Amino acid sequence: MTLFNSWGERERRLAAAARRLTGAVDGLLSAFAAAAPAASPAATGSCGEDASVGGGVNGTLAAFEASWVEYLGLFAVWKGQDAAALEVRQCNACLKLRESRTQIVETNAIHDLAP
């Protein structure tokens, strides 16, 4: 389960793509498991593809790849938004640290000048 700070259209699309990707992985694993024990030259095509099943391992692999590409694209957009927010927070924290350091240096300078 993916955790989101907010739940908008972008997050809904990403979650739906994750569900499709999970289904594609399950399908791919099932296709590999089904192709492995019965792999004989007469029953299979290239790369272990079962000629009797529409698409076989190759078709399932293509579906997985399409799901992965979709998910990766949506994840990159979502994470890019998150990265921008993190950058703003880091810049603000850095400015506060610099301000604090300046105050400490000024305070120490005043104490050093005191008799």
Tens of pLDDT, residues 40-67: 544 444 444 443 445 688 888 999 999 9
72 in a structural domain: yes
3 in a structural domain: no
**Residue 4's pLDDT is what?**
58
Spell out the residues 6+ positions from residue 7 whose beta carbon is closer than 8 angstroms to its own: none
**Residue 51's pLDDT is what?**
39
Q: What is the DSSP string of 10-44?
A: HHHHHHHHHHHHHHHHHHHHHHHHHHTTT--TTTB
4 in a structural domain: no
**Residue 110's pLDDT is what?**
79
Residue 102's domain spans which residues?
9-113
d(CA 99, CA 71): 42
Claim: this prediction has a pTM higher than 0.75 = no
60 in a structural domain: yes
**Residue 106's pLDDT is what?**
85
> How many domains does the structure of the chain reveal?
1
Asked whether residue 21 carries a pLDDT value surpassing 70, the answer given is: yes
d(CA 75, CA 77): 5
2 in a structural domain: no
